[in-house]
Amino acid sequence: MQIYSIDTGLFKLDGGAMFGVVPKTLWQKENPADENNMCTWAMRCMLIIDGERKILIDTGMGNKQPEKFFSHYYPHGEASMMNSLSKLNIGATDITDVILTHLHFDHCGGAVKMNNDELSLTFPNATYWSNESHWNAALHPNARERASFLKENILPIQESGKLKFISEEVGQRTQFSQNISIQFVHGHTSSMMIPFIHLNDRTIAYMADLIPSAAHIPLPYIMGYDMFPMTTLKEKETFLKEAVEKDYILFFEHDPLIPACTIKKTEKGYRKDEVIQLEKMNLSI
């Protein structure tokens, strides 16, 4: 089994929205803002090669939206999903599974592409995995999340017949495969999925937007985008306690510099410990 970080590019979001109630005097030390108060964030996905399966977790923003849409988010950088996969000699048709942690545009936009004004699946041979509760929430969004759920990212998957749902098992993680389990969390958005990848005696947690970057490890650092911040707080506290006890490796989707790290408990609370590059993860596990 092998795990690879897949860089799909960078984008910008408002620093205040990303750090919620935390004052700028504190968060700007972690991710300095530009003159418009915008901070740079990664869209880092993960490829898991497990036997015959090539499993992609999230797909970044993609490139099919109009220029006006992208003008709000400043996508930049030389990386793209296809370029990152090609470096591993992986093509779009090789992907067997796509796990979408949730359906906000920066996590699922790359799942669907535009060809000659027609929408089609980026990974035509893959099964796309979501869950019924979150899928329904994305199709019928509340006013606060409507701008994040774009139907052109979602409906083509359903219409293709390639969509399958992962069931939430109350009180325990759902087993997706022999080496991957899924935990459901509900603070950021309804039924977001956190994949746990189990390799020998170690566990890598793909953090999605529960803890989008290493800067968000301290408990009060909760995004203004979260639908239920107090739920996020409880979910983070439970997770971080377990992460320290079981020495989890946290994989960050949005941290512009740190792909992964372990966690330690200090007098000031939970903080990042060892920063881990993906190459080291593959060699040491």
Tokens of 245: 């006890």
What integer pLDDT is reported at residue 51 of this predicted model?
Answer: 92
**And the tokens for 79?**
């990386």
Residue 171 burial (CB < 10 Å; 0-12/13-18/19+)?
exposed
Q: What structural domains and CATH numbers belong to the chain?
A: 2-284 (3.60.15.10)
Looking at the chain, how many residues does it have?
A: 285
| DSSP H or E stretch at residue 161 | none
Written as tens digits, the pLDDT of the chain (285 aa) is 899 999 999 999 999 999 999 999 999 999 999 999 999 999 999 999 999 999 999 999 999 998 999 999 999 999 999 999 999 999 999 999 999 999 999 999 999 999 888 999 999 999 999 999 999 999 999 999 999 999 999 999 999 999 999 999 887 899 999 999 999 999 999 999 999 999 878 999 999 999 999 999 999 999 999 999 999 999 999 999 999 999 999 999 999 999 999 999 999 999 999 998 766 555 444
Question: pLDDT at position 77, please?
Answer: 92
DSSP letter for 76, please: B
pLDDT in the model for residue 277: 79
Stated as kind and residue range, the H or E segment containing 157 is helix 151-160
Question: Exposed (0-12), middle (13-18) or buried (19+): which is 279, by Cβ within 10 Å?
Answer: exposed
Q: How far apart are CA 223 and CA 147, in angstroms?
A: 16
Burial 90-106 (b: 16+ CB within 10 A, else e): bebebbbbbbbbbbbbb
